[in-house]
Amino acid sequence: MTRKFFFFSEMGYNAYPVEALEKYGYSALLFPNSIFDAEKARDLWQMFLREHEYASEIGFDGSVCNEHHNNVLSMQESVNISAAVISQRIKGAIALIGNPLPIHDNPVRVAEEIAMLDLISGGRIISGFVRGTGIEQLSTNANPAYNRERFEEAFALIKKTWTVSGPFRWEGKHYHLRVVNPWQLPLQKPHPPIWAAGILSPETIRWAARQRITYLVLGSALDATATCRDIYHEVAREDGWTPTPEHLGYLIHTAVMDTDEEAYEMGRYHYGGASVIGRSGGVAQSALSSGTGSAGATGGGPHPEWMAPPGYMSKQAKTGNMARERRMSEGSYDAALRAGLIVTGSPKTIVQKFKHIIDRTDPGYLTFWAREGKKPHEATMRGIELLGKEVIPVLREHQSALVSGKEVTPWPE
Amino acid sequence: MAGMNDLSRLVDAGGITIELRRGGSGAPLLVIHGELGVPGWLDSFAQLAKHYDVIVPLLPGYGRSTRPDWIMSVHDLAAWITWFARDLDLRTPVNVIGCSLGGWVAAEIATVAPQFLNKLVLVGAMGIKPEHGEIFDYFLESGLTGLRRAFYRPEQSPGFTRYWGKEWTPEEADLIEQHREMTCRIAWKPYMHSLTLRYLLPGIITPTLLVWGRDDAITPLECGEIYQHAIPRSQLAVIEHCGHMPEMEQPAEFSQLVEHFLSG
């Protein structure tokens, strides 16, 4: 397949007063919604949708949308509503990364909504499924101790809904449905492409490989992503098949501007910091001196238990090599840049960096996390323009060293 | 009868392997621990062991006891306790102390199996939704925060400082998380209470003593009052300067209350 280039934005509520972060020390779950200003949010929606639209106009292959709850990180409480709206504003694919399955008590409803999306968009949907963060379990009251069981059972039920004619009955451990027989089924057959997305859970990577579905690495550092790819390929080898680039997606914080210096400054908007659970978890006091972005989103902060409620995360995921690598990359903004957690530069610089990234990971889907937090709209639009006009066209021509056998493009000094 | 030195061992009972602490001699006294597990042979157990055969199983999923995936509710634990007791050849009816989550388990047993129980002591018991306050939500806070909150004055309580007051080893931290996870599995939603238990309490015929810490910041004293009003002929004893775990924070007064009740 030809590599695809997507645009991503969490579409976060960035109109919160910074002092509120200082006061509470977090920006999620218990961050009081009295701070929310509906009129500001209305305007933000229009701005964010315009950014998606512009990315499509300028040459991106698609847009990516997401879901979070009780969190300034993202105003998308329903990824399916985001996808519905975006599908009417852009020409390309819409990837959902995705529906957090364990929080739903009726997974067939998710299957129905994705079928609707696929029909309305004319078959442009990529259906990602996630476990949801710890915050999602707490804010929707989904039992974290059964998170993985619920994820896997919901996935199996949705897949059956799309591939086996109804009506049928489902009597599982967590889900019980008398009649599964939704009227609408997806346009794409047998179903839209399915992705699983994650940060550092080796179990999910192995599971995705066993299912032979695309694994999307969410905003992780380069070494960790290469490790994800290795694990995926290792499992595939055990199962006797060879993954293609389309089995790996990579979502990367990206700040491109006309000069390296401007891009470096814009990249700061992406940085959260090691002591931050990030915008997906709550921001520690120290976040204000380090940044207010979401890169470095798994460290700790005042309530690490929100990101890892009991039973949600295996011991291996908490303490394994990938977690360790990630923590090291989150220590400072410059450490995050060195680790490739955030990629910045002028078009010329960033092309070389992404060639290096492609050479090492060969993702079939490269998604630029190109709008974040309080980054100004004008700078975001300029970044999108440069990516569309000067970066993506060059990268389209670049074959990964993993395929060509050539030397890995060096990381620019 | 188990000797005083034979306090922790693994036994096969109730279909699984169970970590069992047992000491003392006399009539059996079964202790069902709470959501925080039970960290050792408590002073209150030692006191009660002077007159009773004190039997403290670590519930499935707690301590070194195995965790069968099928146990998903307090009702499951209640049924399992009766199986466990049968496998240990405990003479029934038996005296039972149920602490916090274990109190809820014991109350469930009392509603369906009165023949199992001789006398019942419920300590800061879960299971009832308070009408005014709320049961503390352990899962919005860290394990340490929850443990500290379970004591009126953690630093002044030998029960706290001895077991949880030092810096934890990785193994100890893992154990706390393991207990939190097991508690999630059985009491996540509705959180720490039953929607039907309070309507079944009037049917209890077992003589029941309710013991509450005046300063219980986990299960409000109000829950004890609801229990006391609902269970016929029950008594509520309130211990001053005491939080959610009288058996650890005020072991002398707690043991005295229990001994007095059981011997009366």
Residue A275 in domain: no
Virtual torsion, Cα B223, B225, B228, B231, nearest 10 deg: -50
Lowest-pLDDT range of A41-50, A207-216, A295-304, B25-34: A295-304
Which residues contact residue A19 at a Cβ distance below 8 angstroms, ignoring those fewer than 6 apart? none
Average pLDDT over residues A102-121: 98
Is B185–A146 a contact, with Cβ atoms under 8 angstroms apart? Answer: yes
Give the total number of structural domains in chain A: 1
> Is 70 exceeded by the pLDDT of residue A284?
no
Q: Which amino acid is at B132?
A: H
Burial of B131 (0-12, 13-18, 19+ CB in 10 A): exposed
Rg (CA), chain B: 17
Give CA–CA dist A3/A364, Å, rounded. Answer: 5
- Which ranges of A31-78 would DSSP assign to H, the alpha helix? 38-58
Of the pLDDT bands very low, low, confident and very high (cuts 50, 70, 90), residue A292 is low
Q: How many helices (H) and strands (E) does chain B have?
A: 10, 8
∠ CA A153-A158-A160, nearest 5°, is 95
pLDDT value of position A326:
60
> Is 70 exceeded by the pLDDT of residue A300?
no
Which candidate from B140, B143, B184 shows the least CB-CB separation from A144? B184
Does the domain made of B9-263 have the CATH classification 3.40.50.1820? yes
Phi, psi of A365 (to 5 degrees): -125, 115
Rg (CA), chain A: 20
Q: Which amino acid is at A214?
A: T
> Is 60 exceeded by the pLDDT of residue B4?
no
> Is 50 exceeded by the pLDDT of residue A330?
yes
CA distance B190 to chain A (A): 10
pLDDT value of position A366:
98
pLDDT value of position A360:
97
pTM for the model: 0.94
> Is 90 exceeded by the pLDDT of residue B58?
yes
Which candidate from A143, A145, A305 shows the least CB-CB separation from B142? A305
Question: Which of A105, A143, A303 to mutate: most B Cβ within 10 Å?
Answer: A143
CA distance B174 to chain A (A): 9
> Is 70 exceeded by the pLDDT of residue A289?
no
Of the pLDDT bands very low, low, confident and very high (cuts 50, 70, 90), residue A166 is very high
> Is 50 exceeded by the pLDDT of residue A160?
yes
Tell me which residues of chain A, numbers 298 to 337, contact chain B at a CB-CB cutoff of 8 Å. Answer: 303-306, 309-311, 315
pLDDT value of position A103:
98
Give CA–CA dist A372/A388, Å, rounded. Answer: 18
> Is 70 exceeded by the pLDDT of residue B6?
no
List pLDDT tens digits, range A239-283: 999 999 999 999 999 999 999 999 999 999 888 754 333 333 333
Q: How many CB pairs under 8 A join A and B?
A: 41
Which helix (H) or strand (E) covers residue B222, if one does?
Answer: helix B221-230
Domain ranges, residue A96: 4-263+344-404
To the nearest whole percent, how much of chain A has pLDDT over 90? 76
DSSP track, A93-151 = EEEEEEEEGGG-S-HHHHHHHHHHHHHHTTS-EEEEEE---HHHHHHHT--GGGHHHHH
Q: How many CB atoms lie within 10 A of CB B21?
A: 22
Of the pLDDT bands very low, low, confident and very high (cuts 50, 70, 90), residue A374 is confident
Which candidate from B140, B174, B188 shows the least CB-CB separation from A143? B188
Whether A145 and chain B come into contact, CB under 8 Å, resolves to yes
ipTM: 0.94
Query: Measuring CA to CA, which residue among B229, B224, B204 is closest to residue B214?
Result: B224
Whether A138 and chain B come into contact, CB under 8 Å, resolves to yes
Contacts of A29 in chain B (CB under 8 A): 140
CA distance B220 to chain A (A): 22
Mean per-residue pLDDT over chain B, rounded: 96
pLDDT value of position A301:
59
Average pLDDT over residues A216-227: 90
Average pLDDT over residues B36-55: 97
Question: Which of B145, B185, B186, B191 to mutate: most A Cβ within 10 Å?
Answer: B185
CATH of the domain at A236: 3.20.20.30
Residue A218 in domain: yes
**Rounded (to 5) percent helix, strand, coil in chain B:** 40, 20, 40
List pLDDT tens digits, range B84-140: 999 999 999 999 999 999 999 999 999 999 999 999 999 999 999 999 999 999 999
Which residues contact residue B41 at a Cβ distance below 8 angstroms, ignoring those fewer than 6 apart? B7, B8, B21, B23, B56
Burial of A397 (0-12, 13-18, 19+ CB in 10 A): exposed
Average pLDDT over residues A36-52: 98
Give CA–CA dist B27/A251, Å, rounded. Answer: 65
